[in-house]
Chains A and B, each alone.
Chain A
Amino acid sequence: MLGKLSIRNAKRSLKDYGVFIMTMVMISALIFAYNSLIFDSDMKVVMFDEAYATLPVFIGLADFFVILIASWLVNYMMKFMMKKRSREFAIYQLIGVPNKKISRLYVRESSILEIIAFIIGIVFGVVLQIILKTIFFSMMHLPWSIKVSINWQSMALSSVLYLLVYLLALMKNSRQLKKMTIRKLLDMDQQNEVPGVKKHKVISVILFILSIGYFIAFFIIMFNVEWSLIGVALSISGLVIATYFFYIGVTGFLSSYIDNRGKRLFYGSNLFLSRQFTSKITTMQITFGTITVLMIVVLLNSSYAFMLNDYQDKMLESQLPFDFIMYDKSTDTDFEPYLSTVKENVDVKEIYKYSIYESSSDEVSQYMYRNYSYFKKHPNHKKTQNNAKDYQSYFDYDTYMKLSDYNKLRDMLNQGKVSLKDGEYMIQCKEKIESYLKGFGSDNEIEINGNKMKFAGIETIPFSQTGHNGSDYIIIVPDNVAIAMKPYYSIVVAKFNEKAPQGLQQKLQKLEEAKNDEVQNWCYGTDQIITMYSRIAVRDNILGETKFLLFTMSYVLFYIAITFLCIALTVLAVQQLSDSFKYKFRYDILSRLGLNQQEIHRIVFKQIGIYYLVPFVLGVLLSGIVGIYVSNVFIFYTGIHSSIFNYIGSSVLLFGGIYFLYFVITYVGFKRGLYSTLN
């Protein structure tokens, strides 16, 4: 009997809470697709073990957040359904069904729903996995043919994770149901009916003003203050609290506007809509706050993912222009052991060894310390008596290179030759500091061994300037000038005829470690966020690993973002759709008062629009400003050419699309529900 009843109830819930089931399908698909990557044999084959080891770590971390938030959703939904059905449960109790049995009935029917969602989710998960892998392999420029891979490990892991989501939520709910009395259940049903926000209006208006004040203060401070880690944590917690305050406050603010009979209320459906909104938001303050916080997480996450992708697209290749490059602090290094290892492993086209020079002066680096905005933010990266050498961005002395070496290296990079007249110098630097060094060159002559030299121009080709060919910049001088200077350190570069095999980097690093030679005087410039500094660098290996890392990170960020978004939207949609009975009644009255179908459509559109728009707009606004700030920092440190609105803009577009989809589903479902009785 109970079995039959629970199947019938599950069927009914499937209809009533379709959006929730859809989201659970998506969540299980995501959990399966991502976690199956960990065990995927195709992926394992193409990657180094070290790089590959990061994948489970990142995905595991993401799983943690996804499970936490997904179980929040399931818990929320179960509570929600229980509230909606409290009268039904009360009737069961009234006719003598024991609490234990009712709770078992409820658990059974929600389990049916969850299992259905999981099974459908796995099917979508397989498709999603193929999509993820296709994107991955094509972006990594690796060959791959589409095939389905399902193994027991990934199935088992996904099932366990999914079960965890469900059990976490279930534990709390069934306990609650077991303790319920008829009176309490009926009270619960009544709770739904009480609207209004009369209490604590003054407090809520104060909270509203406080929250707006905090938002403004937060953004002003953000752009003007150097953040410490504790400062960041505190101010972000403040932002979250202010978001909740905003929703508690906005009801008070809006209802005092209504109570004061603001002029706009007397236009169209404004009075009805604003009361609808305030009454709904009163019971949903915390939910709305949570949705907005989720939106912020979603948008920032995906902006960061877009940053990583953008970096990969535009910057990664130029970070390591040479197939192989190696630094050594001495001036008479024997590179032979390394080179022979290289030659054993790969077909080498050409090898070139050269020295970097110094003239015991640091005019250029001092100029940069004084003028480059980076050092205003990071004064401890300057060369001073007090600062630790590890942090120092630039070498103790300015670095010089022979013109002939420079031209040879340019040739290896397929760049045309450059020339210098006697008494001239030029600077080769990273693009991001070009303007500073132009400023230096036009104002200053440099003096080498008593000869004054004139600035002849600047070059900004990708040139491996994170400690190899200088850090950030190098000064190019005619050969005869360089020869008179002191050699500073040595570099060897190589060009290969083929792709470097995996593991070459590790082999060379092992040789280096065996030497047990402490490195001094190696400074890698001012790149931050993503820096690839390694004294030995096999381009194909490092790029492969870095790409893999960047991909993993951006993949995982999207994983979290999509899950969070879907969860936030489900709550919004379900709230609207399940209240349809109440709304039906209200719209029925409006129809009797003489509003026609079209007018009612318009009000429905506005009503749902407001629900969807408020958390979205607030989320976009808050995350947008943080996003712009973060993008700004990212562009500043990486020197990438992108607009600061690029990343957050792409995120808003992408997730706005998903948002819109849920809005349409809700609007259509809502209208359908409304017209099932309205005439």
Chain B
Amino acid sequence: MKEGWIRILDVEKYYGRKGNLTKAIDRVSFEVEQGEFMAIMGPSGSGKTTLLNLISTIDSTSAGHIWFKDQDITVMKNKDLAEFRKKNLGFVFQNYNLLDTLTIEENILIALIINEAKKKEAIEKAVSLEKMLGIYDVRNKYPYEVSGGQKQRCACARAIANNPSLILADEPTGALDSHSSQMLMETLTQMNDELNATILMVTHDAFSASYTKRVLFLKDGKIFHQLYRGNKDRRVFLNEIYNVLSMPEVGDKDAR
């Protein structure tokens, strides 16, 4: 079997003490290939965000291993983890997580500066991303002065600025209106197509998930279904996703 870019092997996460143990993630295994654009869906409490936090090293596993290329991140020390995040990961969150004291451009620059980029390179890179993601005109504004969609595109630009191995997106369209959601998903697709970014996205939203190449369905901490888009049209894929979500065992009333 071909070795995956990222391998999640029998990962478990428990909360609470003995006798009152909650299994948020229950023996989950899957692989992500380089350049893949993948969504994880599931009802509330199914463990989507927990799984994302484990992969992003923000939370630690209770059992199992997560391999990034040839590195097992579950055994790394805190200090190395920070370095690992800096070098390998990019984040996009539902609430944007932009620094409110910095302008849109500075929010992109800070990720580059932390990675010790030179002034000229950093500015060039930031500008090219701003142009690509359509936020060049608002680059000197503060987050509170721009729309949610623009904020999220800024977060995307920051996430991809250092050419990370993996971009993790946690409900990136969660706070956006339908038009902005569509634009953002097109942005992520563009990042995936043009920059060959590997993206792992957690979402509630079938519409957003239909932009990806693969969807994993999670319930009660376990993977219960998986869909590949292949060469299908997005609308067809969206219907397939709806079909899975409407299965009685999913019981996800939230899914749109």
Contact = CB atoms under 8 A, between A and B. Distances in A.
Contact of A272 (B78, B99, B122, B123): B99
Given A195-B142, A259-B140, A272-B110, A593 B86 contact: yes
B55 to A, nearest CB: 13
A265 B112 CA distance: 12
B192 to A, nearest CB: 21
Contacts of A591: 82
A593 B122 contact: no
Given A271-B113, A594-B114, A193 B100 contact: yes
Contacts of B118: 266
Nearest to B100: A195
B142 A594 contact: no
A594 B87 contact: yes
Contacts of B83: 594, 596
A679 interface: yes
B99 A261 contact: no
B97 interface: yes
Given A261-B123, A595-B86, A271 B110 contact: yes
Contacts of B109: 266, 271
Contact of A589 (B81, B87, B99, B142): B99
Contact of B101 (A267, A276, A593, A679): A276
Contacts of A200: none
B199 interface: no
Contacts of A590: 114
A265 B103 CA distance: 14
A193 B110 CA distance: 20
B142 A271 contact: no
Contact of A586 (B79, B87, B101): B101
Nearest to B164: A594
Nearest to A591: B82
Interface in B122-163: 122-123, 140, 142, 144-145, 158
Interface residues of A, number: 34
A598 interface: yes
A595 B115 CA distance: 10
Contacts of B78: 596-597
Contact of B119 (A193, A261, A594): A261
A590 B114 CA distance: 9
B99 to A, nearest CB: 6
Contacts of B140: 259
Given A271-B102, A275-B102, A597 B114 contact: no
A588 B111 CA distance: 14
Contacts of A582: 100
B101 A592 contact: no
B82 A266 contact: no
Contacts of B58: 592, 679
A194 B97 contact: no
Interface in A589-617: 589-599
Interface in B62-109: 78-79, 81-87, 89, 91, 97-102, 106, 109
A196 interface: yes
B85 A592 contact: yes
A252 to B, nearest CB: 15
Interface in A651-679: 679
Nearest to B89: A594
Question: Looking at A258, A272, A588, A592, which has the most chain B CB atoms within 10 Å of its CB?
Answer: A592
B254 to A, nearest CB: 26
Contacts of A592: 56, 58, 85, 91, 97
Contacts of B97: 588-589, 592
Contact of B122 (A194, A196, A266, A595): A266
A418 B85 CA distance: 87
A268 to B, nearest CB: 8
A595 B158 CA distance: 15
A594 B57 CA distance: 11
A593 B98 CA distance: 11
Contact of A598 (B79, B87, B111, B144): B79
Given A266-B122, A272-B99, A596 B79 contact: yes
B106 A271 contact: yes
A593 B119 contact: no
Contact of B106 (A194, A275, A593): A275
Contacts of B102: 271-272, 275
Interface in A191-221: 193-196, 198
List the 10 closest pairs (A to B, CB-CB), nearest first.
A594-B86, A596-B82, A279-B101, A594-B85, A266-B119, A275-B101, A196-B142, A195-B101, A596-B79, A589-B97
Interface of A: 193-196, 198, 258-259, 261, 263, 265-268, 271-272, 275-276, 278-279, 582, 586, 588-599, 679
Given A265-B113, A279-B101, 13 more contacts: A195-B101, A196-B145, A266-B117, A271-B106, A589-B97, A592-B85, A592-B97, A593-B85, A593-B111, A593-B114, A595-B114, A596-B83, A597-B78
Interface of B: 56, 58, 78-79, 81-87, 89, 91, 97-102, 106, 109-111, 113-115, 117-119, 122-123, 140, 142, 144-145, 158
15 contacts: A193-B100, A195-B144, A196-B144, A196-B145, A259-B140, A272-B101, A275-B102, A590-B114, A591-B82, A593-B91, A594-B85, A596-B81, A596-B82, A597-B82, A679-B58
